């Protein structure tokens, strides 16, 4: 490493430089549905020159496989072996990366309402979660400069991540955000019903025995209720730059 290709700590913290390529860095973003985790994680990864992993897409793909192959949700062995056989992986040449099962793109299928309706229950299956955790660690070994988002990334999958965030927001705000997205896509919406669905998803996500949704002890907790998207990304970026700046400084000592 030469002085010309190593940014100084100050350069890195004050500018828009990507994270230096010699630094492996895992940034986790956990939190409930409707806090904007996916969009925030993708934009943060872009700003820092890191890869972006959407682990919710993996659970959604498992739910889509269950529905499309007409697998009984009680037949856990059959479901887990179908998901293992599908070899879920991402095409990293697209932004965001596209999830594939049996080498077929699943990005459209996993956002459809029947998948959204089934995924919370599918994500409670312990054997499936263990498989996903293993896959996510393999992905991180292949992409060691990563912003990863989900429900258990900082608490369980990457306990040694360099920076951990937990995004939260008032359930009413989360329901209104979801309603806006659905209206933009031309759907009719009932905000109160959406709020109830969000609370039910929170309940399922936070009470399951494997990888429940919790705020990791060492995570930076951010309430996004009153913040717009750009402010959230800028706030996270600042925390990461401060932390990586300190890592660069200790690296050079
Ligand atoms: O973030 P999302 O809506 O795409 O997530 C889909 C579902 O998967 C949601 O019910 C929570 C679950 N999930 C999970 O249990 N663990 C993760 N790491 C990511 C998502």
| Pocket flag, ligand 1, residue 40 (CB < 6 Å) | no
| Pocket flag, ligand 1, residue 62 (CB < 6 Å) | no
What's residue 176's pLDDT?
93
How far is ligand 1, taken at its centre, from the CA of residue 240, in Å? Answer: 24
How far is ligand 1, taken at its centre, from the CA of residue 149, in Å? Answer: 9
| Pocket flag, ligand 1, residue 212 (CB < 6 Å) | no
Q: Are 36 and 167 in contact (CB under 8 A)?
A: yes
Mutate to test the pocket of ligand 1, among 63, 115, 146, 150 (most ligand atoms within 8 A of CB): 150
Q: What is the pTM of this model?
A: 0.91
Residue 251 within a domain: no
What's residue 72's pLDDT?
96
Determine the Cα–Cα distance for residues 33 and 168; give it in Å rounded to an integer.
9
Mutate to test the pocket of ligand 1, among 59, 135, 136 (most ligand atoms within 8 A of CB): 59
Residue 253 within a domain: no
What's residue 21's pLDDT?
83
Report the CATH number that the domain containing residue 135 is assigned in CATH: 3.40.50.300
How far is ligand 1, taken at its centre, from the CA of residue 55, in Å? Answer: 7
Residue 147 within a domain: yes
Helices (H), ranges, 208-251: 229-251
> Which range marks the domain in which residue 148 is found?
7-242
**Residue 240 vs residues 59, 77, 81, 89, 156: alpha-carbon distances, Å:** 27, 40, 38, 27, 20
Structural domain count, the chain: 1
Task: Give the mean pLDDT per block of 10 residues along the chain (253 residues).
Answer: 60 79 92 92 96 97 98 96 97 96 97 92 95 97 96 96 96 92 86 92 88 92 95 96 87 69
What's residue 6's pLDDT?
60
How far is ligand 1, taken at its centre, from the CA of residue 34, in Å? Answer: 11
Residue 169 within a domain: yes
Give the burial class of 6: count Cβ atoms within 10 A of its Cβ; 0-12 exposed, 13-18 middle, 19 or more buried. Answer: middle
How far is ligand 1, taken at its centre, from the CA of residue 60, in Å? Answer: 7
């Amino acid at each position: 490493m030469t002085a010309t290709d190593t940014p100084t700590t100050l350069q890195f913290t004050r500018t828009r430089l990507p994270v230096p390529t010699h630094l492996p860095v895992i940034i986790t973003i956990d939190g409930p549905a409707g806090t904007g985790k996916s969009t925030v994680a993708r934009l943060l990864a872009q700003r820092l020159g890191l890869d972006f992993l959407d682990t919710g897409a993996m659970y959604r793909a498992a739910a889509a496989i269950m529905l499309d192959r007409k697998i009984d949700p009680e037949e856990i062995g059959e479901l887990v072996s179908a998901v293992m056989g599908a070899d879920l992986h991402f095409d990293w040449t697209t932004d965001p990366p596209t999830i594939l099962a049996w080498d077929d793109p699943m990005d459209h299928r996993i956002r459809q309402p029947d998948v959204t309706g089934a995924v919370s229950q599918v994500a409670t299956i312990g054997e499936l979660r263990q498989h996903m955790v293993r896959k996510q660690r393999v992905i991180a070994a292949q992409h060691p400069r990563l912003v990863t988002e989900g429900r258990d990334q900082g608490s369980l999958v990457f306990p040694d991540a360099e920076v951990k965030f937990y995004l939260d927001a008032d359930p009413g705000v989360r329901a209104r955000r979801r309603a806006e997205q659905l209206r933009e896509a031309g759907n009719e919406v009932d905000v109160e019903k959406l709020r109830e669905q969000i609370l039910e998803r929170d309940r399922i996500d936070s009470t399951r025995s494997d990888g429940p949704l919790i705020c990791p002890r060492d995570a930076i907790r951010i309430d996004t209720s009153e913040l717009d998207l750009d402010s959230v990304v800028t706030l996270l970026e600042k925390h990461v730059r401060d932390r990586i700046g300190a890592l660069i400084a200790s690296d050079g000592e």
